[in-house]
Amino acid sequence: MNTLEKAVNIQNEKIIKVMVVDDSAFMRFSITKHLNMTPNIQVMVTASDGREALELLKTYKPDVITLDVEMPRLDGLSTLKEIMAHYPCPVIMLSSLTKEGANETIRALTLGAVDFVAKPENKINISEVMNEVVSKIIKVVNAKVFSIPYKKPIEDSKKAADKIVRPLGSNDKILIIGSSTGGPRALNTLVPELNNIPAAVLIVQHMPVGFTHSLADRLDSISILKVKEAEPGDQLEVGKALLAPGGFHMVLDENKRISLNQNPTIHGVRPAIDVTMFSVVQHFGKSVVSVILTGMGVDGTSGSTLIKSSGGYVFAEAESSCVVYGMPRSVVESGSADKILPIHELAPAIMDFLNGII
């Protein structure tokens, strides 16, 4: 039995009701056909744009919505805001692989969408994409839904004055943040609060190629902390966060600089949080601090266990604020978590620890 079949069985025969919103008749047909062929999933209604979807939501109450990012009349982001405000349920965005599509997808994830699927560039890959849609519907059907206030980018003048980056000192810490499903929303809350952080920061978010650059830009635009997508040769610096690029594991080379590789996936993902943690602990030992945020699976547990046994410190997001309480639960159940807090309490606690207050 494969992973998808096991996930279906976990639903205990519950029928997952889905609304499909897409302006492409081909995509509506393809998604509907594929979902209706899947045990325990049924497309209850489709809509060709956001306005039609909102009208239908007055009558229908789906368990999950698949929502196109780019649509006429009412676009995906505007539709998502209305769904979160009036008809909250798990939403999976369908995004194009263009730069604009990636930017809009990241905004959607920070506004409350729980996950996304990249649309195929041609019809040849449609079956593979449909399998991903099915898998993610099953994963997010029980996800907690949060509507997040939109954070405006900070002014350019303030950025220039306050984004202070300095070389890593011998007494400085390395903060590794790991997240998966619901992660962009959590990062959108946490990262802007890490102002003047006395540590170098590494972020590993499970995300495919083409979207992490937009996520890094988004986080940088709303933070005093400097955030960028990691590149080979980047140095660890205090006041700067490096985000692992989609499709690459992020490690440190012998000179403690960033190295990227496409070694096999770990826990079915690349980048993997554990890979980064193992590498960083080898160089920095007890100076490493980890934060495991919302997400499905166990990635980050082995790494956090190593960090704790090496004398470092481990934070985990509490169940109350997680979209999916999987990765943090695994860390907590392993006995590795030193502090378990909801997302809005994590930043102050992290800053207190790094400043020697706790």
Q: Kindly report the backbone phi and psi dihedral angles of residue 210, in degrees, each rounded to the nearest multiple of 5, phi listed first.
A: 100, -10
Q: Is the Cβ–Cβ distance between 312 and 288 less than 8 Å? A: yes
* Alpha-carbon gap, residue 88 to 5, rounded angstroms: 27
Q: Catalytic pick from 299, 302, 304, 336? A: 299
* pLDDT tens for each residue of 314-340: 999 999 999 999 999 999 999 999 999
* Alpha-carbon gap, residue 87 to 90, rounded angstroms: 10
Can you name the residues that pair with 118 across neighbouring β-strands?
Answer: 95
* pLDDT tens for each residue of 66-116: 999 888 888 889 999 999 999 999 999 988 766 777 888 999 998 899 999
pTM over 0.95: no
Q: Catalytic pick from 206, 213, 249, 267? A: 206
Q: Indicate if 179 belongs to the active site.
A: no
Would you state the pLDDT for residue 157? 46
Strands (E), 122-165: none
* Alpha-carbon gap, residue 354 to 194, rounded angstroms: 11
What percentage of the chain has pLDDT greater than the value 90? 75
DSSP per-residue string spanning 226-246? EEEE--TTPBPEETEEEEPPT
Q: Catalytic pick from 180, 279, 287, 336? A: 180
* pLDDT tens for each residue of 120-129: 776 666 788 8
Q: Indicate if 206 belongs to the active site.
A: yes
Would you state the pLDDT for residue 127? 81
* Short-list 75, 102, 91, CA closest to 216: 102
Would you state the pLDDT for residue 163? 78
Q: What is the helix, strand, coil percentage profile of the chain, to 5? A: 40, 20, 40
Token look-up 């998604």 returns 31
Would you state the pLDDT for residue 123? 65
Would you state the pLDDT for residue 97? 67
Would you state the pLDDT for residue 3? 45
| Mean pLDDT of the 4-19 span | 66
Would you state the pLDDT for residue 259? 98
| Mean pLDDT of the 145-170 span | 72
* Alpha-carbon gap, residue 141 to 328, rounded angstroms: 19
Please return the burial class of 335, using the count of CB atoms within 10 Å of its CB with bins 0-12, 13-18 and 19+.
exposed
What percentage of the chain has pLDDT greater than the value 70? 90
3-state secondary structure (DSSP) of residue 202 = strand
Q: What is the DSSP code (8-state) at residue 104?
A: H
Per-residue burial over 246-259, b = 16 or more CB atoms within 10 Å of its CB, e = otherwise: bebbbbbeeebebb
**150 has pLDDT over 80:** no
**20 has pLDDT over 80:** yes
* Alpha-carbon gap, residue 125 to 221, rounded angstroms: 34
Q: What is the DSSP code (8-state) at residue 55?
A: H
Would you state the pLDDT for residue 38? 92
